[in-house]
Amino acid sequence: MSAAAEATRIEESFSPDVFDRKEFRGETTLSVHASRIHEVALFCRDTLGFDMLLDICSVDHAGSHPRFQVVYELYSIAKKTHLRLKSSLSEDEPEIDSVTDIWPTANWHEREVWDMMGIKFRNHPNLRRILMWEGYPYHPLRKEFPLEGIPTDVPDVAFTEVAPLAGGPFVTIPTEGNTEVREPRARHAGKIPTTATFIAEP
């Protein structure tokens, strides 16, 4: 059965809480009301055979309402079928049910979304940060977080002075020059290392 046919079964079972169906380049996407995401996810696994959760990610539509979106990428190994579910969340209360009891692989994905975007997952068994340290006051993938990071004093973690979060190697700004020139740390340093030397110990 194709993803389009599976999507139709979901729409018939959960209408009107499943809506805004999209078909693009052979991929099917359904929007699901956040209050029903756990039921729809369980139906996808137990009835439709989507036994693999490939990924959970989040989107920040800053300036729009609702602001946040959680995206689930599902796959059926037996049917070789891919399906995408999306749920929108308000800025005031970005919270949604966990699906860790349906797909255990959701554990780390949900922790990353919480860490980076600040979206809470109800009934998650251990919802704590996975990339940043506990107590870190920001969610770095939100649109208001600057590309070059925020100086953060973490004396009890690793440093005794302010530790700048300079941005990764793929964080760039529009300007002339290649990617190395646009990378924040290269701009601040005033020079760009182009080669690396490794010296083996005798």
Asked whether residue 66 carries a pLDDT value surpassing 70, the answer given is yes
pLDDT digits (tens, 9 = 90+) for 134-192: 888 899 999 998 887 777 766 666 554 555 554 444 455 556 666 556 555 555 555 44
CB 3 within 8 A of CB 27: yes
Q: How far apart are CA 66 and CA 92, in angstroms?
A: 9
User: For residue 89, how many other CB atoms are within 10 A of its CB?
Assistant: 19
Both structure tokens of 74: 């599902």
The top-scoring range by mean pLDDT among 128-132, 161-165, 197-201 is 128-132
- Higher pLDDT: 45 or 174? It is 45
pLDDT digits (tens, 9 = 90+) for 101-122: 999 999 999 999 999 999 999 9
CB 118 within 8 A of CB 94: yes
DSSP string, 89-100: E-SS--EEE--T
Domain ranges of the chain: 3-145, 146-193
The domain defined by 3-145 folds into Beta Polymerase; domain 2 (3.30.460)
In eight-state DSSP terms, residue 35 is G
Q: How far apart are CA 25 and CA 46, in angstroms?
A: 27
Record the pTM: 0.77
